[in-house]
Amino acid sequence: MDNIHFTVNGTPVVASGEDSDLPLVNYLQEDLDLTGTKFCCGIGVCRACTVSVRRQPGAPLEPMIACSTPLSSLEGVEVHTIEGVEQNGHLHPLQQAFLDHFSFQCGYCTSGFLMAAMTLWDRLLDSPVPHSDLDQVIDDALKDHICRCTGYIRYYEAVRDAILKQPGMVA
C-alpha cells in the first residue's frame, strides 16, 4: 500500500500505507505527539476531536472529525491542529477571546470549539457576513459541539467578540 502524504501545521508528514485505516486522532497523538486534539466519544458526535483542514491550495478551511477520519483520506490535505494556532508566541485573537471570556471549565472540548471557530474565522476573512447574520453564522459553526460543562454561552460570546474586533469580517 502506498504511503500517505499530507501536512500537519505546515510540516510535511508521510504516514505508512499500512496505517491507512488508523484514525487521524490516534496518529496525531501517538505518532506526532500532538495531544491537543482530544479523543472523547469516538464516533464523531461530540466533536472534541475537531481539526481544520484545507483539501486543496486556496480552498477554505473546513472542520474535520479526527476520531473517525482514516489516514487514507488525507492524501494531499493540509491538517491544522490546536498546536498550530498560535504564531510566534502570540495567541490568535480567538484564543485570547476564549481566555478573556473564561470560556472553558475542564477544557476537554476547547480545542474542538477553537478549531471550528478557526474555520469560521477563515471563511469570514474571505466572505464577511452582515452583522444581522453573525449570531446565526456562529451558531451554525458551533452548534454540533458538545461541552459537558455547559460552557456554550461563553464560547459563543468569545467567538462573537473576537470576530467583531477583527476589521472586515462583518459587513
pLDDT tens-digit map of 29-67: 999 999 999 999 999 899 999 999 999 999 999 999 999
Q: Is the domain defined by 4-81 classed in CATH 3.10.20.30?
A: yes
pLDDT of 70 strictly over 90 = yes
Task: Report the length, in residues, of the chain.
Answer: 171
Report the half-sphere exposure of 16 (CA within 13 A, side-chain side). 5
Angle at 14 between CA 44 and CA 32, to 5 degrees: 60
pTM of the predicted structure, to 2 decimals:
0.94
pLDDT of 149 strictly over 90 = no
Q: Residue 99: helix, strand or coil by DSSP? A: helix
Residue ranges per domain, the chain? 4-81, 93-165
Give the list of residues 6+ apart from residue 36 with CB closer than 8 angstroms, or none: 81, 82, 83, 111
Distance in angstroms (rounded) separating the CA atoms of residues 116 and 134: 15
Q: Residue 52: helix, strand or coil by DSSP? A: strand
pLDDT in tens, 85-126: 998 999 999 999 999 999 988 888 999 999 999 999 999 999
Helix (H) or strand (E) holding 116: helix 110-126
Angle at 116 between CA 137 and CA 91, to 5 degrees: 110
DSSP conformational letter for 70: B
Query: What integer pLDDT is reported at residue 151 of this predicted model?
Result: 77
pLDDT of 69 strictly over 80 = yes
Q: Which of 26, 7, 13 is nearest to 70 (CA)?
A: 26
CATH class of the domain whose range is 93-165: mainly alpha
Same fold, 4-81 and 93-165: no
pLDDT of 156 strictly over 90 = yes
Distance in angstroms (rounded) separating the CA atoms of residues 128 and 118: 14
